[in-house]
Copies of this chain bind each other. A is one copy, B any other.
Amino acid sequence: METYLRVPMEELKSFGTDCLMRAGIPADEAEIISDNLVMADARGIYSHGMMRLGIYIDRVRKGGTAAETRINVLRSRGATALIDGGNGSGHVVSVRAMEMAIDKARLHGIGAVGVRGSNHNGAEAYFAMQALKHDMIGFCVTVGAANIMAPWGGAAPLLGNNPFAIAIPAGEELPIVLDMACSVAARGWIVLARKNKEPIPPGWALSKEGEPTTDPTEAYEGTVLPFGGYKGFGLALLGAVLGGVLTGAAVGSEVTDFYEDLVEEQNVGHFFAALKIDHFLPIDQFKARMDNFIRELKGVKLAKGFERIYMPGEREFLILEESRTLGIKVSSGVARELVRLGQELGVTPPAPIA
């Protein structure tokens, strides 16, 4: 078990913002990126939190990602738009694209914005959740910034995890926030198992020969399997079409690896949509119906081995509450990396990890 430290949210966010600014990113953008990373950690999605601060900074310093985000609106007609992110930071491009989708939905009831020329954008829930305060349902999907999955029946990686998120407001109950990737298990777990020389569970991956494997090195060199077999493949394909084929972003063999090539533009694509609820039902009625439905679902008899029923996103809201009061959990490994990064950039890390 790795030990961890608790760091106040605001301090961690300021540290992230300062580091990103030292890499040449403008203050307003640095704040968006750092907020996105800190919110991922605060919600317990440590795989997409400050652990990744270093790689985002490396990409900017090596030229793979533009320091400043200059968005170009290629088309904006009716309830839709297509934008080019100008190779800016994926988080910044995504926040702005989602704002456009929300503006479109305010006018037309629904809005959809496709994006090309972007970069890795962190955890998707963040962008879908932008819709919540507007009493809208938010949706986003991204083409994964590395190919790690084969089409169903294949053995060569031509698809990303292609994660997507949906956020739905409720009344007194917590919003529903569904955020998932299309693989059975995140590739990060395979990397970890390989480091620890531990076998992985069956059903996670194929070797590069296309055979099921529990060997983490074979799995690392092979492909991850989609969740639900061909169903998960279908969803990954859908993400690639909406985020990539439709937008002119990279798909299939055009996709390069976020971690391996820090110099070339990746042309990452995303797709965002927002739906204005009161075009269908008065918002109070919708929220009351959501509350009723959530309470019914949470109130059913439990299956064997379960102590409680969680709605999608509920665990993350509970962890967020804890992070707000106790501080964000930062593992000692990530703390060491942040301290080193701070030293390199001349930024003082938050007291608990310094």
Instruction: Give A residues with C-beta under 8 Å from B.
Output: 75, 77-80, 82, 107-112, 114, 137, 150-156, 158-159, 166, 168, 176, 178, 180, 184, 206, 209-212, 227-228, 230-235, 237-238, 240-242, 245-248, 251-253, 273, 275-277, 279-281, 285-286, 289-290, 292-293, 296-298, 300-304, 306, 308-312
Contacts and interface: CB of A to CB of B under 8 A. Distances in A.
B281 A246 contact: yes
Q: How many copies does the complex hold?
A: 2
A234 B179 CA distance: 9
A-side interface mostly? mixed
A113 B242 CA distance: 20
Contacts of A166: 238
Contact of A75 (B150, B154, B279): B279
A275 B238 CA distance: 13
29 contacts: A79-B110, A80-B108, A82-B279, A110-B111, A114-B280, A137-B246, A150-B300, A151-B311, A152-B309, A153-B309, A154-B303, A155-B302, A156-B301, A158-B300, A166-B238, A176-B237, A176-B238, A178-B237, A178-B238, A227-B227, A233-B312, A234-B312, A237-B297, A241-B290, A245-B286, A246-B277, A247-B280, A251-B289, A252-B293
A248 to B, nearest CB: 6
Which 7 pairs, one residue from A and one from B, show the smallest C-beta to C-beta distance? A80-B109, A210-B303, A153-B306, A227-B228, A78-B108, A154-B300, A228-B228
A139 to B, nearest CB: 9
A108 B111 CA distance: 9
Nearest to A225: B303
Contacts of A276: 80
Given A245-B286, A276-B80, A286-B245, A151 B234 contact: no
A93 to B, nearest CB: 16
Contact of A300 (B155, B296, B308): B155
Contacts of A209: 304
A137 B166 CA distance: 19
Contact of A252 (B176, B242, B296): B296
B152 A231 contact: no
A252 B166 CA distance: 20
Contacts of A286: 245-246
Contacts of A77: 109, 279
Contacts of A156: 300-301
A241 B154 CA distance: 34
A153 B302 contact: yes
Contacts of A290: 241, 245
A275 B273 CA distance: 11
B80 A251 contact: no
